[in-house]
Structure 1
Amino acid sequence: MTFVPRKTFPNYNIPLNNFKGHHQKALSKFGHLAPQLDMILEVRDSRAPISTTNVLFDKVLPSKKKLILYSKKDLSILKPRLLEKWHKSKNEQYMFVDCRSKRDGKKIINEIKKLYDSMETPPPLGLRTMIIGMPNVGKSSLVNTLRYVGKVARTGGQPGVTRSTSEIIRLSRDPEIMVYDTPGVFLPTTKNAETMLSLALVGCINESFIDPVILADYLLYVLNLQDPTGKLYTDYIDHPTNNVYELLESIDQKRNVLQIDKRFDECGLANHWISKWKQGLW
């Protein structure tokens, strides 16, 4: 019998927001800094390009020259042409980048320098830009790549590592280019549960926010839509499935970590699989 992937996902009752006090504080600071800024670098996760688009940024930073950077390109199957028409209609410039790549970092700095060179009157204090984005999309890793000296911000796998917008960092002396590193800012609310699940999968919200089995089931649902053959998880099971418990049990058998009473740890296995997917090791 031909495998048919699910076309819809259950509408679980999960929270639709993770907007915190420091997110609001950061937005206010963005608005205060806006007059000083010549350019915005907005980082989005290429695995969830729509879900990691924060509409609040255009409201607090309107009419700013913007370069959109789709991070984690090495983990994404998204084809650039799928976004080309969308960005062209909005007259937006974008790039796919690996935030840890020095080569990509040089490309970004070159784009900033092009803007500087196009200015009729160079800013007396240098060109100032700001790196913004949802939590954990790769902003601090990007700053670490772009910087010339020193450690700018701790990098890690948990959203919310950077909390301050007060530090400005020099990226270049000739021409003078300065950048603000900023904390990730979540939306006050998302439109539906699937958007929250997408954001949880790519790490924009803490893993503990949503039941890991539900999240693993959503990952299975998405992977089956991308490729109904099941080859995206053949390391664990030799056929496609819509049953997340069947998949988790197969993962358990591969890892041989049954509990003493022969039950398998659903949450632990779900977290293991999700973690492997995030790292591109699945």
Structure 2
Amino acid sequence: MGAPFIPRAVFPTLDSLPRSYFLGHHRSGLTKMKSLLSSIDLIIECRDYRVPLSSRNPLFESSLAGRERLVVYTKRDLGSQETRADAQRELLLRKWLAPSSVLFSDHRDRQDVKRILNHAKAHASALNTLTGSRLLIVGMPNVGKSSLLNALRQVGIGKGKAAHTGAQPGVTRKIGTTVKIVEGSEGSGEGIYLLDTPGVFVPYIPDAEAMLKLALCGSVKDTIIPPTTLADYLLYHMNRNSSNLYSAYHSPTNDITSLLEAVAQKTGRLQKGGIPDTEASALWLIQRWRNGHLGRFMLDEVTEEALRNAQDPKEFAPSFSQAKRADKDAKRARSRSMSVTAA
């Protein structure tokens, strides 16, 4: 009988990883949001349920201050197993964000969507205005803002998609027109309208593992971090939860190359001569997890200690000039690493 499988206790630190994905349309989008703030009654900030701490963008807290905020943790269906531990984590997040309101959502669950609509209706009713209510939906790239907007519109007024969605970030690049999600009534005046916005990334992320988490969840394009590195990070987390998650392809392992070669053979992702295409297999594996087929679990640790240690917004989001300098340093480090490897 072989020795029992022991998963890795930690994932190796990768200092050469890029730490920024703050693009031009992120900056212009944030500037436009600030200019619209005077006409906005409520901000809905979306965060990814699987990375509830890493998907927080302090830029929204600093730039869009002064308006009531509802924090919606999207994609709950991809991170929750409806256990007592999940409920305890959700309670901790509610306490952490108080006095802001917090909801947890799967945009395909009508009851979840109705809870968000009811919150918006109650807020509009309290305003008691004849001109209706204007809401702004914000969040990091690919956290599900547009999907949530479409769901609110479908459940709220029975109409189809108003915003384009996609598997990669950057589908929404400009602030669009307002979309009605609740018909006018005595309580909400002309109705409730929601404005979709482009995802805005943090200028710089000092924690390399947080960058891996966001990339694995799809907040940056899959070309930014090597797919095999992301697949290895996914394997690390799958093993922490259950090595049975990939049992259809391989026995328990910490070797990502071995797993990807097995996936390639199993799924037919082979190059000329039958050589396993490990990069294509890595992308396929990552997408399977993103769609909930390789386990539903959080990547962030949500504990009282983790929330106490959550970084101050000023420390988490340095100035744009600091971010540029840090990104240049990271690029130089990667270039040196590649030169050493080539030699």
TM-score, normalised by the number of residues in structure 2: 0.76
The counterpart of 1:235, out of the listed 248, 260, 265, is: 248
- 2-side partners of 1:59 and 1:73: how far apart? 26
Amino acid at match of 1:71: T
The counterpart of 1:217, out of the listed 224, 232, 235, is: 232
- Equivalent position SS for 1:269: helix
- Equivalent position SS for 1:171: strand
Cα 1:256–1:30 shift into 2, 3 Å: closer
- TM-superposed deviation, 1:166: 4.2
- Identity, in percent, stands at 40
In the alignment, is residue 130 of structure 1 matched against residue 136 of structure 2?
A: yes
- 2-side partners of 1:242 and 1:137: how far apart? 29
- 2-side partners of 1:90 and 1:237: how far apart? 41
In structure 1, runs of 5+ residues without a counterpart are: none
- 1-side partners of 2:211 and 2:96: how far apart? 27
- Equivalent position SS for 1:88: helix
- TM-superposed deviation, 1:161: 0.9
Confirm or deny: 8 A CA contact 2:49 2:73 kept in the other structure: yes
Q: Deviations over 1:128-179 (max 9, x none)?
A: 1111111111111111111233532111111111122241112122222111
- 1-side partners of 2:219 and 2:89: how far apart? 23
Q: Deviations over 1:28-78 (max 9, x none)?
A: 112111122221111111111111111110001113222111111221137
In the alignment, is residue 280 of structure 1 matched against residue 280 of structure 2?
A: no
- 2-side partners of 1:270 and 1:166: how far apart? 34
Of 151-160 and 196-205, more deviation after overlay is shown by: 151-160
Of 187-196 and 251-260, more deviation after overlay is shown by: 251-260
- 2-side partners of 1:23 and 1:9: how far apart? 30
- 1-side partners of 2:80 and 2:248: how far apart? 18
Q: Deviations over 1:90-110 (max 9, x none)?
A: 313212211233332222111
The counterpart of 1:10, out of the listed 9, 12, 16, is: 12
The counterpart of 1:101, out of the listed 91, 105, 109, is: 109
Amino acid at match of 2:26: H
Amino acid at match of 1:232: L
In structure 2, runs of 5+ residues without a counterpart are: 295-343
Q: Deviations over 1:176-216 (max 9, x none)?
A: 21111111111101122211111111111111111111010
Task: Select the structure that is richer in helix.
Answer: 2
Moved beyond 4 Å, runs of 4+: none
RMSD, aligned CA: 1.8
In the alignment, is residue 226 of structure 1 matched against residue 241 of structure 2?
A: yes
2:327 corresponds to: none
The counterpart of 1:77, out of the listed 73, 77, 80, is: 80
- 1-side partners of 2:70 and 2:217: how far apart? 21
Amino acid at match of 1:87: R
- TM-superposed deviation, 1:10: 2.1
Q: How does 1:33-44 map to 2 (within 5 A)?
A: 33-44=36-47
In the alignment, is residue 153 of structure 1 matched against residue 163 of structure 2?
A: yes
- Equivalent position SS for 1:235: coil
Q: How does 1:163-242 map to 2 (within 5 A)?
A: 163-172=173-182, 173-174=184-185, 175=188, 176-227=191-242, 230-238=243-251, 240-242=252-254
- TM-superposed deviation, 1:256: 4.0
Confirm or deny: 8 A CA contact 2:265 2:276 kept in the other structure: no
In the alignment, is residue 141 of structure 1 matched against residue 156 of structure 2?
A: no
- 2-side partners of 1:6 and 1:166: how far apart? 45
Q: How does 1:47-66 map to 2 (within 5 A)?
A: 47-66=50-69
Amino acid at match of 1:155: T
**Aligned positions, number:** 277
Amino acid at match of 2:144: G
